[in-house]
């Protein structure tokens, strides 16, 4: 058994012990779960919402929702997978209700002055690429984040967003195209 797998099993065990305490009325133990997962929840929320204040609100909402629904977590699969689903749902709902962004707006975000960089992309260009990702409409940005930040499979994304795998594949293809066109670094 590899070290990574052992660590994963250890994490799972710790999570389940804490959840057991919380379900038995030890409310304060939930703080341990928050401490363990607040950073990944917040950074995922930030990637989806692209705004620190909104991401912080969403992070609190995620944990409050998780607390209320903790009894529904059966222990099948990682706790993080369960928490991530809540995070994505809350962030997408929050983004949709706050400020809807449509694909038609993309033209205004395209930066035509980006330089072509043949070598390993430098940090400034990574920053630029990140900005491009953040400017994508939510329906595309969410796919880029879930696939390339969270390393989720098409099937997992499909399940979490309630869409078909083929639809996810097509939209992800479009999202990559938008980024390639805007950055002009990765023109195939």
Partner 1 sequence: MTCEVYEDLIPVYVDGELDRQNAELVEAHINQCESCKDAYQQAARFREDISSALRMHQFKIDVVSAVVEQIQPKHSRTSAWVWIPAAAVLVLAVCLFAGLQLAPSKTASPGTLSGKHNPIPAPHINIAKADQVSNPTKHMERPIQLQSAPKHISKQPVLQILKAKQTVAIITAPAGSGQAQIIMKYTDNDRSDPQNDNQYPLAPEALPVPSPGQKIVAENEIVSISGRRLQRVCYRIIEDTDSEIRMEESHDNN
Binding footprint of partner 1 on the chain (CB under 8 A):
27-28, 30-31, 34-35, 38-39, 42-43, 46-47, 52, 56, 59-60, 63-64, 67, 121, 123, 125-127, 129-130, 133, 144-145, 147-149, 153-154, 169, 172-173, 176, 179-180, 186, 188
Q: How far is the CB of 71 from partner 1 (least distance, A)?
A: 14
Question: Is 28 or 104 the residue whose CB approaches partner 1 more closely?
Answer: 28
DSSP run (H or E) holding 58: helix 52-69
- Residue among 95 and 145 whose Cβ is closer to partner 1: 145
Shortest Å distance, C-beta 145 to partner 1? 7
Q: Which is nearer to partner 1, 85 or 184 (CB)?
A: 184
CB of 19 to partner 1, least distance (A): 14
Closest CA to 54 of 93, 16, 27, 83: 93
Give residue 25's Cα distance to chain centre: 30
> Which segments within 85-159 are labelled E, that is strand?
none
C-alpha dihedral, 108 to 87 to 11 to 35, nearest 10°: 90
Q: Among residues 89 and 169, whose Cβ is nearest to partner 1?
A: 169
Rounded CA-CA distance 93/98 in Å is: 8
Question: Which positions ≥6 away from 24 have C-beta within 8 Å?
Answer: none
The residue among 142, 133, 177 whose CA lies nearest residue 161 is 142
Q: Smallest gap, in angstroms, from Cβ of residue 141 to partner 1?
A: 10
Decide whether 11 or 125 has the Cβ nearer to partner 1: 125
């Amino acid at each position: 058994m590899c070290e990574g797998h052992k660590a994963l099993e250890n994490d799972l065990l710790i999570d389940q012990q804490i959840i057991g305490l919380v379900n038995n009325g030890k409310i304060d133990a939930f703080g341990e779960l928050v401490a363990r997962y607040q950073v990944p929840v917040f950074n995922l929320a930030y990637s989806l919402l692209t705004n620190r204040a909104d991401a912080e609100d969403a992070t609190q909402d995620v944990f409050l929702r998780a607390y209320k629904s903790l009894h529904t977590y059966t222990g099948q699969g990682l706790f993080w997978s369960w928490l991530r689903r809540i995070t994505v749902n809350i962030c997408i709902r929050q983004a949709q209700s706050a400020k809807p962004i449509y694909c038609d707006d993309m033209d205004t975000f395209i930066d035509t002055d980006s330089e072509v960089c043949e070598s390993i992309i430098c940090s400034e260009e990574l920053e630029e690429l990140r900005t491009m990702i953040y400017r994508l409409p939510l329906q595309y940005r969410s796919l880029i984040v879930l696939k390339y930040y969270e390393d989720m499979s098409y099937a997992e994304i499909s399940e979490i967003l309630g869409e078909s795998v083929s639809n996810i594949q097509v939209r992800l293809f479009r999202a990559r195209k938008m980024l390639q066109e805007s950055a002009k670094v990765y023109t195939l």
